[in-house]
């Protein structure tokens, strides 16, 4: 079993690394190796008896697509766990809350002029769903650890959202709970290649006028909340 762990930003996978950003080494993994490929660094190692490949993609759907496809096709991962931060769209979510995606969509994919729903292109689907068994595993881990894990719809697009109007539109159009810039791209890749995946985000901001300041203030803290939960899931795999 080879497990891909992916984030979009270095800060999102940094908790898995021992040293500073300049000398990344896998903390809890044996037989560390590191490979540069396609403009990204892939860390391979073992966590207990699990083979792990770990990478961050850089921000955005195109970068996320490249990295997800590389993790599956070049590194042969059989499962992908995504960890990172998101903006809250649902007002019931606060900074630091954990959201496991039950479905992901692309809020900026728009051929609605041809009569299609927002987020839809022919031969695709508006929503792509993660593996139910990984959601169930996450629920068990959350219960055992006494951690509040919410389920929600995650909307992905190539914009950092810092606008109450756009946020309201995304909430209304997609019934979204959280917003970020990579999840649906990863979901489309994994779904197409039939690899089970799980997308976890901890809230860093409310995608409103304060979002850029909150994001900077809470990125590291929220990234750590998410990555710690993924480590707890690895314990149970
Ligand atoms: N990731 C974290 N916060 C975000 C926001 N407000 N918009 C897009 N992606 C995000």
**Cα of 50 vs its chain's centroid, Å:** 20
**Cα 135 from Cα 132, distance rounded (Å):** 5
Kindly tell me if the per-residue pLDDT of 22 is higher than 80: no
Contacts of 192 by beta carbon, 8 Å cutoff, 6+ apart: none
> What's the pLDDT tens digit per position in 67-105?
999 999 999 999 999 999 999 999 999 999 999 999 999
Confirm or reject: Cβ of 87 under 6 Å from ligand 1.
yes
- Share of residues in the chain with pLDDT > 90 (%): 86
Give 29's Cβ-side CA count (13 Å radius).
24
**For range 33-46, the mean pLDDT:** 92
Domain containing residue 113: 2-236
| Ligand 1 centroid, distance to 185 Cα (angstroms) | 15
| DSSP H helices in 78-182 | 132-145, 164-174
* Confidence band of 132 (pLDDT split at 50, 70, 90): very high
pLDDT in tens, 175-231: 999 999 999 999 999 999 999 999 999 999 999 999 999 999 999 999 999 999 998
ipTM associated with this complex:
0.99
| Nearest atom within ligand 1 for CA of residue 205 | 3
Per-residue CA distances from 187 to 8, 60, 73 (Å): 14, 13, 15
Given a cut of 60, whether residue 29 has pLDDT beyond it is no
Find out whether the beta carbon of 120 lies less than 6 Å from any atom of ligand 1: no
What pLDDT is stored for residue 34 in this prediction? 87
Give me the DSSP letters along 35-104.
EEETTEEEEEEEETTEEEEEEE--SSHHHHHHHHHHHHHTS--SEEEEEEEEEE-STT--TT-EEEEEEE
The pick from 93, 181, 200, 208 for probing ligand 1's pocket by mutation, whose C-beta has the most ligand atoms within 8 angstroms, reads 181
Nearest CA to ligand 1 atom 6: 207
pLDDT classification of 23: cutoffs 50, 70, 90: very low
Determine the atom of ligand 1 nearest the C-alpha atom of 219: 2
Q: Is the CB of residue 170 below 6 angstroms from any atom belonging to ligand 1?
A: no
Known catalytic residues? 12, 205
233's enclosing H/E stretch is: helix 211-236
Find the angle CA(185)-CA(29)-CA(219) to the nearest 5 degrees. 45
Question: Is 31 a residue whose pLDDT tops 80?
Answer: no
Distance in Å, CA 206 to ligand 1 centroid: 8
List the CATH number of the domain containing 228: 3.40.50.1580
- Residue 160: which of 5, 9, 39, 10 has the closest Cα? 9
Q: Which residue has the tokens 């762990």?
A: 5
Q: Which ligand 1 atom is nearest residue 86's CA?
A: 2
Q: How confident is the model at residue 46 (pLDDT cuts 50, 70, 90)?
A: confident
Q: Give how many domains the chain has, as a whole number.
A: 1
């Amino acid at each position: 079993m080879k497990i891909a762990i992916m984030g979009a930003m270095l800060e999102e996978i940094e908790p898995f690394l021992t040293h500073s950003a300049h000398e990344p080494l896998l903390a809890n993994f044996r037989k560390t190796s590191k490979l540069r490929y396609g403009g990204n660094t892939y860390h391979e190692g073992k966590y207990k008896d699990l083979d792990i490949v770990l990478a961050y993609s850089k921000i955005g759907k195109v970068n996320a697509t490249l990295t997800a496809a590389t993790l599956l096709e070049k590194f042969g991962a059989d499962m992908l766990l995504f960890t990172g931060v998101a903006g809250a769209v649902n007002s019931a979510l606060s900074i630091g809350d954990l959201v496991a995606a039950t479905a992901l969509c692309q809020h900026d994919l728009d051929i609605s002029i041809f009569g299609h729903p927002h987020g839809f292109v022919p031969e695709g689907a508006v929503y792509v769903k993660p593996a139910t068994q990984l959601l169930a595993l996450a629920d068990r881990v959350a219960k055992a650890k006494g951690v509040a894990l919410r389920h929600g719809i995650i909307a992905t697009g190539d914009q950092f959202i810092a606008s109450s109007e756009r946020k309201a539109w995304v909430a209304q159009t997609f019934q979204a709970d959280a917003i970020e810039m990579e999840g649906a791209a990863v979901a489309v890749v994994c779904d197409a290649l039939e690899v089970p995946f799980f997308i976890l985000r901890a809230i860093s901001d409310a995608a409103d006028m304060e979002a850029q300041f909150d994001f900077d203030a809470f990125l590291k803290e929220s990234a750590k909340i998410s990555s710690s939960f993924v480590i707890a899931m690895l314990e149970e795999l």
